[in-house]
Each structure stands twice: as structure tokens, then as C-alpha cells.
Structure 1
Amino acid sequence: MHFNLADLFEAVADAVPEREAIVCGSSRSRYRDLDQGANRIAHYLKQQGVKSGDHVGLYMYNCMEYMEAMLACFKIRAVPINVNYRYVKDELLYIFNNADMVACVHHREFIPHIDEVRSAAPQLNTFISVDDDSGEDLSKISAVDYQAAQQDQSNERDFEERSEDDYFILYTGGTTGMPKGVMWPHKNVFFAAMGGGGHFSPNGACEKPEDIVDRVTEHPMCGIALAPLMHGASWWFACIQLLAGNKLVLNHNRSLKGEQVWQIVADEKVNAVQIVGDAMAIPLLDALDANPDRWDLSSVFNIGSGGAIFSDAKQAAFIKHFPNAFITNSFGSSEGGQMGMDNGSRRNQTGLGNVERNDYMDVIIDEEGQPRRHAELGETGIFARSGYIPKGYYNDPEKTAKTFVEVDGKTWLLTGDAAKLEEDNTITVYGRGSNCINSGGEKIFPEEVEDALKAHDGIFDALVVGVPDERWGSRVSAIIQARDGASLTLDSVQDHCRNHIAGYKVPREIHLIGEVPRAPSGKPDYKTAKAYAESGEGRVG
């Protein structure tokens, strides 16, 4: 047995075969069912010539088949590739070409999109289609129905021995450029993003693979992942739940509507609700405000966020609705895993969060023309991680060289987040350094200003960018989505912000927009926001 995700899952499935593993809409699966379903798809993939190290695309909405197919890849040492179902043609062309896929498991409605870009992946010749009532023609890409592929396949685990160095590749969109495929060895992602199996056990992280069974508790917890499984934060949460023998609930709806989510939470008696920042928090909170006492949500004892900004204002709002629950706010990245967490009590602190400096977490100074070095106390540089980190970006040596660097004989991942090494030897993380606004020599991090804006009762969502300024170089510009009926002026927004942030960080202009631009995962689209601000559209005096 190895620190391989298939090995670990199989051990848990053998320990609690009759426990409910996944619920997604009307589909329900026990651990034994999930394991055997994955075995059957794994055998079909092998039958089609998929071998160890081959890449298999997963191009689906949330569904039971997503998790079965991912586990099937792990079982035969193939590499699952997450495909964002909202990608348009150019992005799909890039990922189908860059990822070197040989097979693809997809919802049936995506057949026309696949047909349009399949020429970019000459090795791609196996298509397994999950039915969705779309009626798309399977023969168009010579696809086989998912259930038909499973039929007559073996339930047995007669697979070759696996390795902790087998890969999972997570494609991440980031804020600029085309998607990047982050190459995670199984052991590294298990410890960096999944707590090494120790989230629910007093025994902490596993010391050897066999320990995973001892981390399974007698009373399983029920957790819901609200983001699409194509998003790293949701996939990690799903694995954390399954490797703990817990019950995983998936949001089967194609969009996030607060009323639908809370009905699922009530029906399934969910204990932990996992979101991705404010983009998900806002509709959930609005539904609670509009429907007092509509649902029995007494089972909920944790609201957790990861993968995007979870503002103090939204954390405080959840506490009002769930006074006995605890709030967790994780920060990290597709490349860094989980790099820190607070418990909703960091009121009035600067930055996204604060972590202890150690041998694997530090601040690196990376100045042009100078050797990279570790920061001295009081210096601001780039938040960095070593130890359990990815091996680089797939098919992109240039980005790999810029992001995975050697300092004093050790490889460090530069996360891109600006961070300060405090005098007490802790690290304050501020956010994406590339979005930092330099106004008159002062550095302003958009996330801090956004946090202040979202505490305004009339603001639904907001992004902050820097726009050119003749005197100051850049000035702070806020793109704001107002709540229905709210009347916002520049003066009123500025007065509000001055109660939360220093005067030089206060927006000098605001632009109203119908919907703040964000990726499907909830991550901010700063490029579109900046173009909108520079165009002058929606500007309010």
C-alpha cells in the first residue's frame, strides 16, 4: 500500500462498505458501490488501451460519474484532467492540445464542443458519454454510453501496483493567460491539500498509508461541496470527505441558487457547507435573509471557504445565522494546496490571513537582477512553500522555471501572493502581487479594499483595480454590483470605506456594473474588470 489516492480510497471502502459515500440529486452510492463502479470504468479504459501515465479528460457537471471516473483513473495509474465546462472554443482547443488526452469522459451535451476541437488532440480516440437528456448524437464522435461501457466489466481490483508518485493534474485558469496544468504527485497533494487524512481524527495526519483506516471515525460527518468538481477546492474537499469515510453531498444543480442549496442541506442533514468565497456566500446569505425559519438547518456546525476571498463581512453574516457553528477560511492555491486557515475571528486584521513561518512556509525576495533570497523580518516579498509541492506545470517549462525556484539548495513554490514577514516571525498574506496597485509609492492590495466595500449594505459584490493616473501613477478604481434598490454615490462609498481602511486605499472612482466579472469558480476576472474601469463605463460621481 502506498500514499496513492486509489490505495487509500480502497482501504476506506473495505473498512466501511455499507456507508453512504455520495449523494448527487437522485443518485446515491455506498462506498462498495462507488468502488465497484470505478473498477468497471477502469477496466473499460484499460480495454480501450488507456495505460499508466495516460491522460483522461473529465468534461462534466457535478455527478456521480465524475467521482467514479476520477477514481477509475487513479486505479489504473492514469491521470485525470479537469476540463472547465464553461470554456469557449479557444480555451478548449488549448487544453485538448496541451493536456495530451487519449480519452474523455463527458456529459452528452458537450459532444458538439468536443467535435469542434478534437483535431487538437490527435491521440484522443476514446469517448465515454454520460447521459443528460440532451439527445446529442453519440456517433458524431464515436462515443459510447457510460452505462454501456460499464456493462459486463469486472468488479474486481486486478490492477497493477501503484505509486505515491502517480500524477493528478489540475488545470487552473488563474487571472491571466491560458489554463495551466499543475502536476501533483498523489502523496504531495494528499498532504498539502487534504491534511494527510488527519482533518477529523485526534491522531492527526497519517504516518503510513495503512493509518488511513484508523482516521475513519465511528460517526461519519456529512459535508456538501457547492463548487463544481472541476474546481480544485471542491475536488480536494470531496477527497477529504471520502478518505475519512464521510458522506459527500454534491450540488447537482447547474447553477448555485440559495433556496435550492439550503433545501439540500436540510434534506440531507448536512454538517459542513463548503463554499468558494463571497461569490457563493452572497446568494446563500440572501436566501437565508429572505426565508427566515424556512428550513431546519440545525445540523450545520461548519461553514468553510477555500479558493477565493471570504470577506469578514460575509463571515460575520453567517455567524448571525449560525451562532453555534464555526467558520473556517482557508487560503491557498491550485499550486500550493492549503497554506493557511483562520476560524473567522481575524476581525480588523490586515491581509487575507496569517501563518507561522517554518521550514516549509516563508517569504522569498525575488527582485530582478538579484539572487533570490529569504526575507528578513519586516520585509515584503512573495509567499512561498516547499516540501509537499507540485512538480511543475505540464508542457510548460517556461512557467515552471518562473514558479518553482531554488533558494539555498531547496525548491520553493512562488505562489504569486504578496506577503510580509512580520517582526514576530509570522507571515501576513496580502493577495495576488500582480494585482497590487502602486499609487504615489503606496502599495495597495485589491483584496483589502474589496473586503471593506463588501461590508457596505448596498454593495452585492465588488472588484478593485488600478487605472492610470497622471499624478499618482495609478489610482484605486472599484467596479461595484449594487444591491437592488440601493443608491450609491462616490462620497457615500468613500465615507464607508474610511471606517475600514486607510485613506490612501479608499477608491477614487466607482463604476456600477450589472454583474461583477468572475470565473465559474468564483475567482475574480481582473482583466475584464480593469478594461471596464478604463473604458469609463458605469462611472458614478
Structure 2
Amino acid sequence: MLISGATQTRPTNLVQVDRKENLFNQGFHLVRSGVLAPGLRVHRDVGAIWQLLTWGPSIAGGYRASAVRAPHQTAIVDDQRGSTFRELDDRTDRLANALKDLGVGVGTPVGLMCRNHGGLIEAMVALAKLGATTLLFNSGLSPVQVSDIVAEQQPSLFLADQEFLDTRPDLPADLRVATTWTDDGASDLAELIASGGPAGVPVPERPGRTVVMTSGTTSTPRGARRPQPHGLNEAASLLSVLPLRTGDRMMIATPIFHTWGLAALQLGMALHAELVLQRRFDPEHVLRAIEERQVTTLVAVPVMLQRILDLPPEVKARYDTSSLRVVAYSGSAMPAARITQFLAEFGPVLYGLYGSTEASWASISTPEDLAAEPTTAGRPPLGTRIGILDDDGRPVPRGDVGQICVGNGMLFEGYTNGTGKPMFGDLMATGDRGRLDADGRLYVVGRADDMIVSGGENVFPRPVEDAITAMPEVADAAVFGIPDETFGNRFAAYVVLHDGATLTAEALIDRLRERLPRFSLPRDVHFLAELPRNPTGKVLRRDLPTP
């Protein structure tokens, strides 16, 4: 099946939206969302477009354009303060000038290790105005990992929230360090902004770069070079599925240092959205902010949505969340039972984005997709292609499992250590395995390296996790393969029960026998108080008990 406006024949296991159709439809989606609004406030719209043409579609150009188009609209609200787009532009000019006095310029690497708050956005915009290279550190990295990355990337300046400096990573003595957040608001960043000159910053010789540090849950953290957006193409791609509008109030709960949070920031920038930020995730605080700020879009990772669902019914009923039109999640798989529960409790507002640090987005599942098939990852949006290929890059028959390969305009530019991902033409292997159904929906069965061979059968943990989390007693679960002397490998299950629930390992396995083949059954079951997860919700396998 081919999803395309073209008539040419392509492999039947390749889903594509044709490039010509992209050019035709991009303008429609941008106008529909209000990113382009012909005829309204012409002088401001022309001024905003001029800023984008001058600065390019970077975070610097996007926020300069917003300062012209919607100067008095709230840009950011965090735990300490709020600022308009004009105030943000003025503050980042001052910060850029102060950083320039410290030697930061085109190509200068600067480390950022922050939770979600306005200072993080201000630092990113100021660095982009200078054409610097922004290194986004994962807040879940250990002090040793931070030290290793600093030694590899050699930033000239390290900006971090005070709490991450308190952990005392072993930083070089000559590395200049500045705080971006303190509980009393008296950070070094605030002092730099106060001391910086107000003069406008000239456009740098070349645009800055952003490097996202991987989480290091399965390997040593690596830097993934993210490309600059190509005009508004990428915004149009996401807006072809997500019903977002200019001026939306967008709460970004997922960390912005993660690719999913960074994509949300870039999309919110294109929409001139009000960003609602909280440094630490608390499920009830999220619901309170949705009611108080009339949030229309919540961007999260699955574990955050699961924690909201686990709040007592009387707590959830306390807050009016009817302003929500879109709840978008990504970063990891969400159990099918939780998807069904979320749709039942919050209505048809749930959208799932499947992607990776390297591929950005690959597919989006709508509320209709998830209601029909809760385990689907949806379909590719405008301008994205998905192929299910064998190890030699040939399409496999529709319905068969193969490696998921993606092509779009936001594929990463490689790791900073010089390595990359396998490419098959213009499609990049994601490292995941999956299949396509007859309607072109994608199903992710698991990471290629998560698959085990047990008793001669190839099996993935995802169906086992879904079967376990579907049990009413279970709040959370993770399944991993471990070596087995008899079968080669076997699954071990780590299970968290709801408060007050009881379930034995024997009863759990007996129920699984009704749904799963024998070779998929876990032979080790461990009950834990909670699963160790990093800030983006991925389970830290190294912190699990060894069977």
C-alpha cells in the first residue's frame, strides 16, 4: 500500500507521503494552524518573516520573529516568573552580549545542564544568537558521565542548575561555570543578563548547532548533532496531524534536553505558544497548572501520564482539564491498557509520537488510531517515509517484522564521535524492529538488541510487558532478556503493583499462559516498589536487581 499523491509503483512495505504533495499541503497546514496568517497585522507579519529570513529558522530567528509578531504575549511561565516575547528578546540580547564578553562566539561549545525553566530557554536563544554550539546534557547523567562528556566535548563554559553542581562532577579547574537556577532566583545567569548590554546582536557568520547527549541507559552517552530546521517544513509535518493553533498554551513536561522536548520547544516557537514549564514533574501540580493556565497542549512521556492516571479519583476530579485539546507523548512505549484508560478518562486528546534522537519523528498515532489499535505507533506525517526492511535493505512482505527505517528532513547529522546509523538510500535504520498492517499503521515490536532467542524462537519483551500491565493489580512493569543455560535466553519481569494489591509470581505467570506462547513467558518475576527510571522515563536496567 502506498500513501501518496503520486501514481508510480513503489515497494508495498514502504509508506510515503509524496514530496509534491508536501509542497502543495505545507502552506495549508501552516495557514490552518495560524503560523502563517495572510492579511492579519500585515506590518507585524512582514517584520516576523523578515526576522526568519535574516536569522533563519533557528531558535534565535523563531523567537525574534515572535517578538515582532506578538510582543506583548506571554512567552514563558515557570516556577518563579513569566516573560513576554519582547522581554525574552531583550533579555537574550543582554545575555548574548554578556556571554560574548566571556569569549563565546561562533562555534564555541557551551554545556547546558538544566531542568525545564525559563533560564534554559534564555540560554539556548542567546547561544543561538551568537552562533555557538549548545551541548544539552541529560539531567539524569551521573557525575562521572558528566565529567567524561566534558572531557570529550571540551566546552569553554558550563551552565547548570545549582543542584547539578552540588553533586560535584570532576570538572577541569579552568572551566568557567555559571549557575542557571537557584531556589532564591539569584543565579549567575540572572547576573549576566543584568550586566549585559542592551544592544541588538548581529547575525552570526553561520548558525549555531545543537548537540543532544544520549541518556546512556544502554551505552556510554554520545552526542547527537541535531540539524537546524529547514524553514517551516518540520512544523508543517507535525501540524499535518497534531491539531495545534497559534497562541496555544503548551505545557512541556518532558525534559527539553531530550529530543522530544526539544521538538516541542521548536514547534511551540513556530506557533508563538505560551510555554508553561515546571522544573520537577508532579502529577497533581500538572493538573493544577492545566486548570490555572488553561493549558491546551500537554507534552509528556508515558510514565508521566501513567502517574497522572494513578492519582486518586477524587484528586483528578478536583481539577478542570477541559481546556486540553492535545496530549502528546513520546520517548518510550505506553502500555496499551494505559492508553485505553487515558482515552476513557480524558477523552480523544491523546497523540503518540514514535521517533528517536537520531530520526526525530517517524510516525504519529491519533486518538482514533489508539482507540482502534492501542499498540500502534500510527502513520508517518507529511514529508516522512517509513520502510520495513531486511538486513540487506530490501522491503519485507507487508505484515512481516523487519528493521524500521525512516527518512525525513530532520535526520541527525551523526554522533560527535564520528559514527552514525546505517543508511539504506535516504532511509536511516532506527535500531527498532516493527511491522506495517494493511492500513499502513506502524507497530513497534521492540529494539533490535532487546530481541532474544529462547528455545530457538525470536521473541520481544513488548508484548509481555503489555500483557503484564493489562492486569488490574499491576501499576508498572519492565521485561528484559537474560542468559539461560538451557534455552539460551529467558525473560525476567520486574513488576510494580498498585498500592494494596496482591499478586504472586505463580499467579502472574499462570495468567500470562492464557495470552502468550510458552517461549515468551518470563521465568523470573521480581516485585519492586518502583522501577528505576531516568528523567525521560526510560528504565535504568543497570539499577535493577540481578536475577
Say yes or no: TM over 0.5: yes
- Structure 1 residues 429 and 188: alpha-carbon distance in aligned structure 2, compared to 1, 3 A threshold: farther
1:129 to 179, 183, 192: 179
* Residues 1:458 and 2:500 aligned together: no
User: What TM-score comes out, normalization by structure 2 length?
Assistant: 0.81
Partner of 1:205: none
* Residues 1:155 and 2:198 aligned together: yes
8 Å CA contact retained: 1:479, 1:533: no
Q: CA deviation at 1:149?
A: 1.1
- Structure 1 residues 131 and 184: alpha-carbon distance in aligned structure 2, compared to 1, 3 A threshold: closer
Partner of 2:414: 392
Structure showing greater relative contact order (alpha-carbon pairs closer than 8 Å, 6 or more residues apart): 2
Question: Quick one: distance in 1 between partners of 2:224 and 2:459?
Answer: 29
Deviations 1:357-378 (A, max 9, x none): 9984223433xxxxx3232325
Partner of 2:293: 268
Partner of 2:455: 440
| Mapping 1:295-374, distance limit 5 Å | 295-323=319-347, 325-344=348-367, 345-346=369-370, 349=373, 352-355=376-379, 360-366=385-391, 372-374=392-394
Deviations 1:128-180 (A, max 9, x none): 32351489xx9xxxxx822221124233433224656x421111114322211
- Structure 1 residues 514 and 197: alpha-carbon distance in aligned structure 2, compared to 1, 3 A threshold: closer
* Residues 1:380 and 2:407 aligned together: no
The one-letter amino acid paired with 2:345 is H
Of residues 23-32 and 440-449 in structure 1, the stretch that sits farther from structure 2 once superposed is: 440-449
8 Å CA contact retained: 1:481, 1:514: yes
The one-letter amino acid paired with 1:363 is I
User: What TM-score comes out, normalization by structure 1 length?
Assistant: 0.82
Any idea what SS the aligned residue of 2:489 has?
Answer: strand
Any idea what SS the aligned residue of 1:228 has?
Answer: coil
8 Å CA contact retained: 2:432, 2:448: yes
| Mapping 1:43-58, distance limit 5 Å | 43-58=97-112
| Mapping 1:158-197, distance limit 5 Å | 158-161=201-204, 163=206, 166-187=208-229, 194-195=235-236
Any idea what SS the aligned residue of 1:265 has?
Answer: helix
Q: Over aligned residues, Cα RMSD in angstroms?
A: 3.0
Any idea what SS the aligned residue of 1:106 has?
Answer: strand
8 Å CA contact retained: 1:392, 1:404: no
Question: Quick one: distance in 2 between partners of 1:287 and 1:72?
Answer: 39
* Residues 1:289 and 2:313 aligned together: yes
Question: Quick one: distance in 2 between partners of 1:248 and 1:518?
Answer: 25
Partner of 1:230: 257
- Structure 1 residues 496 and 190: alpha-carbon distance in aligned structure 2, compared to 1, 3 A threshold: farther
The one-letter amino acid paired with 2:105 is K
8 Å CA contact retained: 1:197, 1:243: no
Question: Quick one: distance in 2 between partners of 1:190 and 1:456?
Answer: 44
Q: CA deviation at 1:265?
A: 1.4
- Structure 1 residues 427 and 108: alpha-carbon distance in aligned structure 2, compared to 1, 3 A threshold: closer
Question: Quick one: distance in 2 between partners of 1:337 and 1:501?
Answer: 33
8 Å CA contact retained: 1:355, 1:428: no
Question: Quick one: distance in 1 between partners of 2:267 and 2:489?
Answer: 43
8 Å CA contact retained: 2:288, 2:319: yes
1:490 to 491, 496, 505: 505
| Mapping 1:409-420, distance limit 5 Å | 410-420=425-435
Question: Quick one: distance in 1 between partners of 2:72 and 2:171?
Answer: 40
Any idea what SS the aligned residue of 1:374 has?
Answer: coil
Q: CA deviation at 1:346?
A: 3.6
Deviations 1:47-83 (A, max 9, x none): 1111111111112222211000011111111121112
- Structure 1 residues 438 and 520: alpha-carbon distance in aligned structure 2, compared to 1, 3 A threshold: same
Q: CA deviation at 1:480?
A: 0.6
**Any stretches of 5+ residues in structure 2 without a counterpart?**
1-52
